[in-house]
């Protein structure tokens, strides 16, 4: 597929359809945004029937560079994700279309760009060049310098070994990679920790979410959360204990990086809002006002909890500092972590040390291997 065709699909199909709040990717993706090119309003959402939408404007101030980056992103995504991520197109009836391959490629490009924009914050819509550069870099910058699952060591205060692996995420996830981890207790029982959806551009680590793992634990969580709590010492409320442990694991990988947290993704909010409107419209038994209020409550809780993970850890620690709260500088939470980090939660200190020691030893090993190669040459 040519660069021109990818751009044609974006400007003359996807951006036009976004004015209606419905984008045809073989199935409908609920998404709405305005488009400005070089200070000129190109598309605008007018008179949409859905209530409660917050419609962002994609502000492209340098179309030439934007086009180059958008094409690069689409091509990176096509090579990164597997055919399984696009298997929904297997149901496409080729007999319905004059050029079925062309239609299939159009759906794939629209799907990729829609999911890209689904992970954009308010500021990303205002600064799409920086956003695209960051998202492209995420394909090439993993958080971990190793491929295989590794045992980091034992968290003595909990009495369990910590295992960690970074793997590719499905295309619908917020980031190209995700961190999966679990605790193995002395009796060989396993407690799966929440999955970490984060990405890196090389200089900055960005967290999008801490989510319950799709891999079920082999134990009853409540019994083992008590063991984790014993390793905290300092009191932490507001979320299950293993969620805080997953957050600490992420932070331990950010010692030499800027840290940003994306607590709110506007297009995911809009997509849910449109879906609720359509649900109420088709079924008179649903009260639109009630389900909108419930959606707002759930989204606010999700956002508040994500921020609370870090404020709670900051409260019981030294060396973790919140530099900007959301909407004080931009829409993100900004953090910094120093090498002198120490917490009143013993388990946090152990996780931090396990990861720091492993990364330090790994870097020393890589340096030794590189020096050996140079000497041999």
3-class secondary structure for the chain?
Answer: CCHHHHHHHHHHHHHHHHHHCEEECCCEEECCCEEEECCEEEECCCCCCCCCCCCCEEEECCHHHHHHHHHHHHHHHHHHCCHHHHHHHHHCCHHHCCCHHHHHHHHHHHHHHHHHHHCCCHHHHHCHHHHHHHHHHHHHCCCCCCCCCEEEEEECCCCEEEEEEEEECCCCCCCCEEEEEEEEECCCCEEECCEEEEEECCCEEEEEEEECCCCCCCCCHHHHHHHHHHCCCCCCCCCCHHHHHHHHHHHHCCCCCEEEECCCCHHHHHHHHHHHHHHHHHCCCCCHHHHHHHHHHHHHHHHHHHHHHHHHHHHCEEEEEEEECCCCCCCCEEEEEEEEEEECCHHHHHHHHHHHHHHHHHHHHHHHHHHHHHHHC
What mean pLDDT comes out for the span 234-255? 83
pLDDT at position 373 is 47
pLDDT at position 234 is 57
pLDDT, one tens digit per residue, over 18-53 is 999 999 999 999 999 999 999 999 999 988 888 778
Residue 94 has pLDDT above 90, yes or no: no
Residue 124 has pLDDT above 60, yes or no: yes
Q: In the chain, pLDDT over 70 holds for what percent of residues? A: 89
Q: Which residues contact 10 (CB under 8 A, 6 or more apart)?
A: 70, 109, 113
pLDDT at position 359 is 87
Mean pLDDT of the chain: 88
Residue 333: both structure tokens together: 């939470």
Give whole-number Cα distances, 352 to 183, 344, 349, in Å: 15, 13, 5
Diameter of the chain measured on Cα atoms: 76
pLDDT, one tens digit per residue, over 147-199 is 899 999 999 999 999 999 999 999 999 999 999 999 998 878 888 999 999 99
Closest CA to 204 of 104, 106, 97, 330: 330
Closest CA to 168 of 199, 131, 191, 194: 199
* 211/198 Cα distance (integer angstroms): 11
pLDDT, one tens digit per residue, over 195-233 is 999 999 999 999 999 998 766 555 556 667 777 777 665
Angle between helices 128-140 and 63-80 (to 10 degrees): 30
What mean pLDDT comes out for the span 242-256? 92
What mean pLDDT comes out for the span 301-305? 87
CB 334 within 8 A of CB 326: no
Is the torsion defined by CA of 95, 97, 102, 108 positive or negative? negative
């Amino acid at each position: 597929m040519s660069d021109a065709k990818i751009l044609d699909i974006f400007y003359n199909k996807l951006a036009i359809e976004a004015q209606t709040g419905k984008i045809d990717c073989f199935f409908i993706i609920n998404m709405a945004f305005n488009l400005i090119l070089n200070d000129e309003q190109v598309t605008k959402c007018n008179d949409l029937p859905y209530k409660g939408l917050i419609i962002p404007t994609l502000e492209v101030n340098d179309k030439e560079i934007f086009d180059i980056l958008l094409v690069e992103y689409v091509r990176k995504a096509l090579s990164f994700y597997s055919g399984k991520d696009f298997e929904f197109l297997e149901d496409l009836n080729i007999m319905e279309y004059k050029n079925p391959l062309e239609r299939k490629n159009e759906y794939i490009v629209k799907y990729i760009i829609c999911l890209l924009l689904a992970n954009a914050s308010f500021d990303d819509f205002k600064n799409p060049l920086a956003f695209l550069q960051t998202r492209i870099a995420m394909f090439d910058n993993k958080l971990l310098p190793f491929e295989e699952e590794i045992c980091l060591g034992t968290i003595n205060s909990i009495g369990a070994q910590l295992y960690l692996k970074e793997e590719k995420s499905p295309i619908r996830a917020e980031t190209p990679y995700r961190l999966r981890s679990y605790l193995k207790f002395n009796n060989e029982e396993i407690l799966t920790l929440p999955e970490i959806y984060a990405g890196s551009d090389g200089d900055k680590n960005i967290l999008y979410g801490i989510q319950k793992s799709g891999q079920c634990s082999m134990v009853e969580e409540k019994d083992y959360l008590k063991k984790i709590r014993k390793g905290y010492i300092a009191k932490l409320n507001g979320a299950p204990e293993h969620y805080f442990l997953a957050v600490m694991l992420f932070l331990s990988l950010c010692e030499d990086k800027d840290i940003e947290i994306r607590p709110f993704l506007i297009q995911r909010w809009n997509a849910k809002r449109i879906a609720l409107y359509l649900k109420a419209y088709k079924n008179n038994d649903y009260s639109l006002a009630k389900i909108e209020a419930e959606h707002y409550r759930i989204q606010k809780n999700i956002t508040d909890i994500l921020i609370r993970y870090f404020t709670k850890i900051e409260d019981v620690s030294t060396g973790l500092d919140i530099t900007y709260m959301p909407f004080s500088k931009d829409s993100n939470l900004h953090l910094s972590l120093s090498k002198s980090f120490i917490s009143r939660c013993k388990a946090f200190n152990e996780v931090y040390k396990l990861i720091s020691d492993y990364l330090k030893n790994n870097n020393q090993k890589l340096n030794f291997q590189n020096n050996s190669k140079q000497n041999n040459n």
